[in-house]
C-alpha cells in the first residue's frame, strides 16, 4: 500500500511538471474580460494569458476601434470570451487565421467603441490591462512591455477645437491638506452649471427691470432738416425757389390701457427671477451631494487598494514559504499550485482595485474640474461615520419635509404661476388696448432768401385696437398744431378721427393664446411629476439608509468573525496544522471583510447625505 501511494505521488509530481513544461513552451490567451462602468464613460479590459503577451496595439479613429494584434503564435482554440455591458464597447471580435503549420492561430482581438477614447496600456506578468476612458482625447502613455509596440491616437477634436482648447482653468484649487468642506467649496466654485445659473439670475433681474420700465413713458428726441426746391411754373425756370424746413422736439409714447398685459408681464418676470434664484439653490444641493458621494467613493477605493496590496505582500510570503517547503518535500506540488492560484487571484483583484480607484479618482477630479489631488486628505471614513447621527423622523415626516424644503417643488409652483401670467399676457393681446403718442417742439420753413423763424408745434394722438374673430378694428383720434409753412404767416390747427379695419390680420394672436394654455397645462403636469419623483427619491433614500444600517452591522460582525478565524489560522500555521492554501484563504477573507466594512461605512455616509438632499436640508439628529 505504501509503495502504491509513493508511486501515485511520483506520478502526480511528474504530471504537474509536464503541465508546467508544456505551459512554458507555448503561450495561450485564456480569457478576455470586458468590464464597463455603469455610466458608460469608461471600460476596463483584462487579457489573461499563460505567458507575457507579445502584441502591437493600434487605435483607429474612424470608426473608433482598438485593435490588439498578436505578435506570436497562439492557438485559437479558446472558449468564447466574457463580455459585460454594451455601452462604451459596442462589440468585440476575435480573428483567427491559419499559420504555416496549418493550425488556426489567434491574430487580432478588436474592440469596437461607441466613440474615440483614450487608452492606458499596462502589462504585469501574464495579465495585460487596457484602461479605456471616454472623451479624454489625450492618451496617457505608459511604458510598453518588452518586445511590444504601442500606437496611440492624436487628441480628439470637436467642432475644429481640440479637447485641450475646450477645457477651462479652475477658479479655485485645493490646499495641500483639504477637508470635506473645502472639497465642497471647490466643487461649487468650479461648477460651470452653477456659474450659468448665476448668469441666468442676473438676466432675469434685468428682464424684470425692463418689464417695469414699460409702465413709464418712452421719450426720444427728434431733429429733422429738409432742403428742397419749388417751381410754380414747370415751364418757367425763373419761378424756381430753394427752401429749408427744420423741426426739433421731443417724442412721447405712453401706454394708457393694456387690459392687464403690462401688469401680468411684470408679475411673470418677477416669478422668473424667483425661479432663477431657486435654481441656484437646487444646483448647490446637487453639487454638494455629488462631491460628498465622489469623495467617499474615492476614499473607499483608495483604502481598499491599500488593504489589497497588504494582502498581496502576505500572499508573496506564503507563496515563498510554500515553495521552499515543496523544495524540501514538506509541501506537495498540488498545495503549491493551489497557493499559486490563490496568489494569482489576489494579484488580479489588486489590479482591478487599482483601476477602480483610478476611475473613482477621475470622476472626482472631473467633478471638481481639477487635474490633481493632494496625497494627504484630511477626511477619514471612520471619523465621518462617527459624526453621522441617526435622525428622529418617520418616513411621512421626511416626505413632508421634502415637499416643504425641496427647491424643485418651489420651482414647479413658480413655473405654474409663470405660465399662468404668460397666458394672461397672451389673452390681453386680444383685448382692447389704448396707446397715447405725441410730439412737442418747434418747427419752421423759409425760402433761402428769407430768414427762418422757429415756432412752437405739437401733435397728440390716442390709438386703440380691438380684436374680434381673427380681425381687428383700430380707432384713432389726433390733434396737431404746426408752425407757418413756406410763404405763409398763419399756423395750422387740425383735428382728425380715423378708423382702420383689418380683415383676418390677428389670427396669430389666437394661436399664441392657445399655445399659452397648452404650456400652462404642461407646467401643471410637470409639477405633478416633480412631486412623484420627490416622493420616490425620499423613499429610496430612506430605505437605502435603513439598509445601510443593517449592512454596516452585518459587516462589523463579519469582520469580528474573520479576525478570529484568521487568528486561529495563524496559530495553526505556526504548528503546521493547516494547509497553506487554507491559511491564505483565511487571510483573504479577513481583508475582504475589512474592505466590505469600509464600503458599508461609505454607503451609510452617502445614504445619509442622499437623504438630506432628498429632504432639502440638514436633518435634526437624535439627542
Output the pLDDT for position 621.
Answer: 53
Distance CA 571, CA 584 (A): 13
User: What digits encode the pLDDT tens for the residues 484-505?
Assistant: 777 666 677 888 888 988 888 7
Secondary structure class of 472 (helix, strand, coil) = strand
Residue with cell 390677428: 506
Provide the pLDDT for residue 504. 82
Q: Which residues make beta-bridge pairs with 253?
A: 218, 437
- The answer to whether residues 64 and 156 touch, using CB atoms and an 8 Å cutoff, is no
Please answer whether residues 36 and 88 qualify as being in contact, where contact means their C-beta atoms are separated by less than 8 angstroms: yes
Condensed to tens digits (0 to 9), the pLDDT of residues 196-225 reads 999 999 999 999 999 999 899 989 999 988
For residue range 465-479, what is the model confidence (pLDDT) as tens digits?
888 877 888 899 999
Return the pLDDT at 85. 54
DSSP output for 354-408: HHHHHHHHHHHHHHHT-S---S-----HHHHHHHPPPB---HHHHHHHHHHH-HH
pLDDT at 607: 92
Q: Nearest to residue 67, comparing CAs of 139, 123, 150? A: 150
Distances (CA, A) of 220 to 24, 133, 252, 268, 487: 94, 60, 7, 28, 31
Domain residues of the chain, as ranges? Answer: 27-165, 268-412+521-615
Q: What is the pLDDT of residue 95?
A: 83
pLDDT of residue 514 exceeding 50, the answer is: yes
CA distances from 98 to 74, 80, 107, 173 (A): 11, 19, 9, 57
145 pLDDT band (50/70/90 cuts)?
Answer: very low
Q: What is the pLDDT of residue 86?
A: 66
Tell me the C-alpha distance between 374 and 179, whole Å: 11
Asked if the model's pLDDT at residue 78 lies above 70, the reply is no
Which of 17, 112, 33, 35 is CA-nearest to residue 78? 33
If you compute the radius of gyration of the chain from its CA atoms, what whole number of angstroms results?
A: 40
167 vs 175: CA distance, rounded Å: 22
Residue 8: predicted pLDDT: 42
Query: pTM for the complete prediction?
Result: 0.65
548 confidence band (pLDDT: 50, 70, 90): very high
Nearest to 345 by CA among 597, 606, 591: 591
Topology of domain 268-412+521-615 in CATH is Outer membrane efflux proteins (OEP) (1.20.1600)
The reported pLDDT for the residue numbered 357 is: 92
Cβ atoms 27, 20 nearer than 8 A: no
Q: What pLDDT does 159 receive?
A: 42
Cα–Cα nearest to 89, from 128, 134, 47 = 134
Q: Given pLDDT bands bounded at 50, 70 and 90, which one contains residue 326?
A: confident
- 408 or 238, which is more confident: 408
pLDDT at 622: 42
* Phi, psi angles (nearest 5°) of residue 157: -120, 150
Q: How many CA atoms lie within 13 A of 525 on its CB side?
A: 6
As a whole number of angstroms, the distance between CA 38 and CA 585 comes to 30
CATH architecture of 27-165: Sandwich (2.60)
Residue 454's nearest CA partner among 474, 424, 484, 426 is: 484
Of all residues in the chain, the percent with pLDDT exceeding 90 is 38
Helix (H) or strand (E) holding 109: strand 104-113
Cell digits of residue 423:
397666458
Over residues 291-319, mean pLDDT: 93
Single out the residue of 4, 40, 265, 257 nearest to residue 132, CA to CA. Answer: 40
What DSSP designation does 237 have?
G
Phi, psi of 479 (to 5 degrees): -135, 140
CA 537 – CA 612 distance, rounded (Å): 11
pLDDT, tens only, 554-613: 999 999 999 999 999 989 888 888 888 898 999 999 999 999 999 999 999 999 999 999
Determine which helix (DSSP H) or strand (DSSP E) holds 513, and give its type and residue range: helix 507-574
pLDDT at 280 over 90: yes
The mean pLDDT value of the chain amounts to: 82
Q: What is the pLDDT of residue 273?
A: 94
Amino acid at each position: 500500500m505504501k509503495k502504491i501511494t509513493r508511486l501515485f505521488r511520483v506520478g502526480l509530481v511528474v504530471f504537474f511538471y509536464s503541465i508546467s513544461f508544456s505551459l512554458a513552451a507555448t503561450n495561450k490567451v485564456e480569457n478576455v474580460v470586458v468590464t464597463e462602468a455603469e455610466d458608460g464613460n469608461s471600460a476596463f479590459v483584462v487579457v489573461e494569458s499563460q505567458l507575457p503577451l507579445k502584441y502591437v496595439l493600434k487605435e483607429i479613429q474612424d470608426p473608433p476601434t482598438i485593435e490588439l494584434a498578436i505578435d506570436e503564435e497562439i492557438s485559437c482554440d479558446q472558449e468564447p470570451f466574457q463580455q459585460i455591458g454594451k455601452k462604451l464597447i459596442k462589440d468585440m471580435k476575435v480573428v483567427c487565421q491559419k499559420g504555416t503549420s496549418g493550425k488556426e492561430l489567434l491574430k487580432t482581438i478588436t474592440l469596437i467603441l461607441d466613440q474615440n477614447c483614450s487608452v492606458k496600456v499596462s502589462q504585469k506578468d501574464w495579465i495585460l490591462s487596457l484602461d479605456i476612458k471616454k472623451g479624454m482625447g489625450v492618451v496617457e502613455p505608459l511604458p510598453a512591455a518588452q518586445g511590444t509596440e504601442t500606437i496611440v491616437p492624436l487628441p480628439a477634436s470637436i467642432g475644429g477645437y481640440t479637447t485641450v482648447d475646450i477645457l477651462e482653468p479652475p477658479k479655485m484649487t485645493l490646499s495641500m491638506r483639504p477637508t470635506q468642506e473645502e472639497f465642497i467649496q471647490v466643487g461649487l466654485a468650479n461648477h460651470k452649471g452653477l456659474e450659468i445659473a448665476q448668469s441666468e439670475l442676473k438676466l432675469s433681474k434685468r428682464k424684470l427691470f425692463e418689464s417695469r420700465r414699460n409702465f413709464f413713458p418712452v421719450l426720444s428726441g427728434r431733429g429733422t432738416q429738409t432742403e428742397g426746391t419749388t417751381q410754380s411754373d414747370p415751364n418757367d425756370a425763373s419761378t424756381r425757389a430753394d427752401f429749408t424746413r427744420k423741426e426739433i422736439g421731443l417724442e412721447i409714447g405712453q401706454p394708457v390701457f393694456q387690459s392687464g398685459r403690462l401688469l401680468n408681464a411684470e408679475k411673470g418676470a418677477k416669478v422668473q427671477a424667483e425661479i432663477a434664484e431657486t435654481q441656484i439653490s437646487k444646483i448647490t444641493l446637487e453639487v454638494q451631494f455629488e462631491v460628498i458621494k465622489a469623495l467617499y467613493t474615492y476614499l473607499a477605493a483608495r483604502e481598499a487598494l491599500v488593504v489589497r496590496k497588504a494582502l498581496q505582500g502576505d500572499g508573496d510570503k506564503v507563496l515563498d514559504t510554500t515553495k521552499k517547503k515543496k523544495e524540501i518535500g514538506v509541501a506537495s506540488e498540488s498545495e503549491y499550485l493551489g497557493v499559486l492560484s490563490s496568489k494569482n487571484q489576489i494579484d488580479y483583484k489588486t489590479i482591478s482595485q487599482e483601476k477602480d480607484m483610478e476611475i473613482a479618482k477621475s470622476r472626482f477630479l472631473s467633478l471638481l474640474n481639477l487635474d490633481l489631488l493632494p496625497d494627504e486628505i484630511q477626511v477619514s471614513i471612520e471619523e465621518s461615520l462617527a459624526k453621522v447621527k441617526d435622525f428622529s423622523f418617520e418616513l411621512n415626516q421626511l416626505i413632508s419635509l421634502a415637499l416643504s424644503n425641496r427647491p424643485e417643488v418651489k420651482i414647479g409652483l413658480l413655473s405654474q404661476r409663470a405660465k399662468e401670467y404668460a397666458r394672461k399676457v397672451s389673452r390681453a393681446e386680444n383685448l382692447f388696448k389704448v396707446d397715447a403718442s405725441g410730439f412737442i417742439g418747434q418747427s419752421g420753413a423759409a425760402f433761402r432768401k428769407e430768414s427762418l423763424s422757429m415756432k412752437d408745434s405739437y401733435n397728440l394722438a390716442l390709438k386703440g385696437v380691438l380684436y374680434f374673430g381673427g380681425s381687428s378694428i383700430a380707432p384713432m383720434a389726433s390733434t396737431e398744431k404746426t408752425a407757418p409753412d413756406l410763404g405763409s404767416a398763419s399756423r395750422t390747427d387740425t383735428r382728425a378721427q380715423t378708423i382702420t379695419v383689418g380683415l383676418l390680420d390677428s389670427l396669430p394672436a389666437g394661436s399664441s393664446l392657445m399655445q399659452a394654455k397648452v404650456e400652462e397645462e404642461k407646467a401643471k403636469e410637470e409639477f405633478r411629476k416633480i412631486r412623484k419623483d420627490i416622493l420616490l427619491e425620499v423613499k429610496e433614500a430612506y430605505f437605502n439608509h435603513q439598509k445601510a444600517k443593517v449592512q454596516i452591522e452585518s459587516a462589523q460582525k463579519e469582520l469580528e468573525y474573520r479576525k478570529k478565524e484568521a487568528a486561529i489560522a495563524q496559530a495553526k500555521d505556526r504548528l503546521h496544522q493547516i494547509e497553506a492554501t487554507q491559511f491564505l484563504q483565511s487571510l483573504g477573507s479577513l481583508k475582504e471583510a475589512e474592505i466590505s466594512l469600509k464600503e458599508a461605512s461609505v454607503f451609510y455616509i452617502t445614504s445619509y447625505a442622499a437623504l438630506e438632499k432628498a429632504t432639502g436640508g440638514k436633518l435634526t439628529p437624535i439627542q
